[in-house]
Amino acid sequence: MTTQEFAKMLTGREYYFPLFTKEEIEMAKENGFVIVHGDSDDCVVFDGAITAEICWYEGEKVDFDKDGVSDDDKQLTKPNVIEPMFCDENAVDINGDMITWSFKTDIPHETFMIYEYDEPFCRGMVISLDDLK
């Protein structure tokens, strides 16, 4: 399975708990995929091959490697960085509606959409461990 196929499988979710099934999480782990998405208004969640929930404050970046997410919120120490974007006016869906959560990164990834009450909530990412530094 490719990250593109996996992201396509996740697209169109409605925001609720649990967001992904146990089978989907296991599939991500088996394929070495990391699912990254926003939760509420202050959490970045990693599921699959890396599991973490990070309290996030606007302007901060999240760094990680194959072993997990950095626990140092003062400086970036790991080689892979994502920049969570909350209510970024430039993050819109194909209809021009603002997406509550999105991410910026140079890491190769595929995206998927999560909706809340049919409104775009999060443009999540699927990253392969093979693409991490």
pLDDT, one tens digit per residue, over 10-65 is 999 999 878 999 999 999 999 999 999 999 889 999 999 999 999 988 888 999 99
DSSP state, 84?
E
Rounded Cα gap, residues 48 and 58, in angstroms: 25
Q: Please enumerate in sequence order all residues whose Cβ is within 8 A of that of 111, keeping only pairs 6 or more positions apart, or say none.
A: 7, 123, 124, 125, 126
DSSP state, 98?
B
pLDDT, residue 73, reads 67
3-state SS, residue 124:
strand
- Work out the average pLDDT over 70-79: 80
Alpha helices in the chain (DSSP H): 3-10, 22-31
pLDDT, residue 75, reads 76
pLDDT, one tens digit per residue, over 96-123 is 999 999 999 999 999 999 999 999 999 9
* pLDDT of 71 strictly over 80: no
pLDDT, residue 58, reads 80
DSSP state, 96?
S
